[in-house]
Amino acid sequence: MTSKEHDPLAGGHRKHADLIRPALGNFNRNEWAIVGAPCVYIKALADSVIGALSTKYKCAYADTSHNDEVVLAPGRLANGAFLEYTDQINHQQFNYNTTFTPFNMRQQFAGADLVLVNGNHQQAKAQVVIIYNNKKASLQKRIEQLTNVELILLAENVEDVFDFIKESIPNWQNIPLCRLDETEKIVAFFENKMLQAKPILNGLVLAGGKSMRMGYDKGAVNWFGKEQRYHVADMLKPLCHEVFISCRSDQKPQINVNYNVLEDTFTGLGPFGAILSAFREQPDSAWLVVACDLPLLETETFKFLIEQRKTSAIATAFNSPDNEFPEPLITIWEPKSYPVLLAFLAQGYSCPRKVLINSDVHLIQAPNPDALTNVNTPEDIERVKRTIHQKIANA
């Protein structure tokens, strides 16, 4: 499907893919500009919120330098370098000699869960407005930037919201209001916002493999009275918002019409392409991805994975019981993993496990390691059959 839109970068009209864009702002999905007070108050408030939430969420801050005079670029940038990296031992530092576009900014802040912005210098898609008497005129000049005010804070010696705020924001009475020194209430506001912003969880059953070693479609194997791809999808349905069976375009007619299908659009990349195809369809959702060649999986394993889910990581995955590497094909991939997967692909890598090994991932131990047993050969099938029959006999 294509759409024709005006592309300001191209200087005219052009056809391009009609992609679903993530719900990003200037920096991130969850961003707030703090505006209306001197910068020292904004920085102090940001410090308090970040300090309270940093153990649970990856917090970031955006500001502009307050140098009143033009200063020389730091380090080798002064000699013409485009980029300088320094390992500062307790943190890493990059200096750029280039202008950042919104696209660059979103890439840099993609790993953050929450971004606070000094609204005196930068804008964000939501705002926290501080009512501070000495900044009244400055705030009034920025009234057009107050497009989505979500919290109002009264500074010391202020008892009411400015009249021009009331006139410009019709629903201002419904916006949470507290005093600037009520830190616990402010932190609670952001905690509640982050809970509301938790990405929904979809299920994705990988059934698009060609099963070269097996010799026939592993997703169609009947272990429990129905084809395995449907058995897995049925286990996921009570646990996920939506469940899809991932398949190749030529497989689509073979899938039962009672199941949602998500066709691979990143072709030739195996499971990696299936995960990218899911994010292309719903980039703001998290995806519980599971292969259909794990016949010993039980609902309890899925429930445990979901309970242990950590949204601040790019993924929550089991350690493989065979080699202690992350198991990529029963993993919850968060929306923030989408740009990471694309970045690995751009460098020539299409292995989901390599992404997990080299990224910020929440790794857990499977409560039942046997549940992660996969089937790739006829010999594996016979071994798993014996295990299933033994479990039935014991039951």
Which of 29-43, 55-69, 160-174 has the least mean pLDDT?
55-69
- Is the pLDDT at 8 greater than 60? The verdict is no
Give the model's pLDDT for residue 218.
57
Give the model's pLDDT for residue 394.
62
pLDDT in tens, 249-306: 888 998 999 999 999 999 999 999 999 999 999 999 999 999 988 888 899 999 999 9
Give the model's pLDDT for residue 380.
66
Rounded Cα distance, 247 and 254, in Å: 10
User: What does the pLDDT average to over 322-327?
Assistant: 86
User: What does the pLDDT average to over 199-212?
Assistant: 82
pLDDT band at 3 (very low <50, low <70, confident <90, very high): very low
Calculate what percentage of the chain has a pLDDT beyond 70.
86
What does residue 104 show for φ and ψ, rounded to 5 degrees?
-60, -45
Q: Which residue has the higher pLDDT, 369 or 52?
A: 52
Give the model's pLDDT for residue 53.
98
Q: Is the distance from CB of 219 to CB of 292 less than 8 angstroms?
A: yes
- Is the pLDDT at 211 greater than 80? The verdict is no
Residue corresponding to tokens 């702002």: 25
Q: Is the distance from CB of 310 to CB of 362 less than 8 angstroms?
A: yes
pLDDT in tens, 111-154: 999 999 999 999 999 999 999 999 999 999 999 999 999 999 99
pLDDT band at 2 (very low <50, low <70, confident <90, very high): very low
* Mean pLDDT for all residues in the chain: 89
Give the model's pLDDT for residue 61.
98
CA atoms within 13 A on the CB side of 21: 9
In sequence order, what DSSP letters do the residues of 165-226 get, joined into one string?
A: HHHH-TTGGGS-EEETT-HHHHHHHHHHHHHHTPPPEEEEEE-----TTTSS-GGG-BSSSS
Rounded Cα distance, 268 and 160, in Å: 61
Give the model's pLDDT for residue 73.
84
Give the model's pLDDT for residue 309.
98
CA atoms within 13 A on the CB side of 291: 23
- Is the pLDDT at 316 greater than 60? The verdict is yes
Rounded Cα distance, 301 and 366, in Å: 7
What domains can you pick out in the chain, each with its CATH number? Answer: 31-64+108-196 (3.40.50.300), 201-394 (3.90.550.10)
User: What does the pLDDT average to over 64-73?
Assistant: 74
Give the model's pLDDT for residue 373.
80
User: What does the pLDDT average to over 217-245?
Assistant: 84
Strands (E), the chain: 2-7, 12-17, 31-35, 59-62, 83-87, 92-96, 114-118, 126-131, 149-154, 177-179, 201-206, 243-247, 260-263, 286-291, 315-319, 326-333, 361-364
Rounded Cα distance, 235 and 243, in Å: 10
Q: Which of 207, 200, 201 is nearest to 231 (CA)?
A: 207
Residue corresponding to tokens 């999905």: 29
Give the model's pLDDT for residue 215.
44
Angle between helices 271-281 and 337-346 (to 10 degrees): 130
pLDDT band at 7 (very low <50, low <70, confident <90, very high): very low
Give the model's pLDDT for residue 272.
96
Q: What is the pTM of this model?
A: 0.89
The residues with which 361 forms a beta bridge, in sequence order, are 315
Q: Which of 285, 187, 186, 193 is nearest to 243 (CA)?
A: 285
Q: Which of 142, 129, 100 is nearest to 35 (CA)?
A: 129
Q: Which residue has the higher pLDDT, 217 or 99?
A: 99
User: What does the pLDDT average to over 74-100?
Assistant: 92
- Is the pLDDT at 239 greater than 50? The verdict is yes
What does residue 18 show for φ and ψ, rounded to 5 degrees?
-85, 80
Q: Which two tokens stand for residue 248?
A: 């190749």
Q: Is the distance from CB of 277 to CB of 246 less than 8 angstroms?
A: yes
The residues with which 115 forms a beta bridge, in sequence order, are 31, 60
Return the HEC string of 118-145. Answer: ECCCCCCCEEEEEECHHHHHHHHHCHHH
Give the model's pLDDT for residue 149.
98
Per-residue b/e over 75-104, b at no fewer than 16 CB within 10 Å? eebeeeeeebeeeeeeeeeeeebeeeeeee
Calculate what percentage of the chain has a pLDDT beyond 90.
74
Report the number of secondary-structure helices (H) and strands (E) in the chain: 11, 17
Taking only Cα atoms into account, the Rg of the chain, rounded to an integer number of angstroms, comes to 25
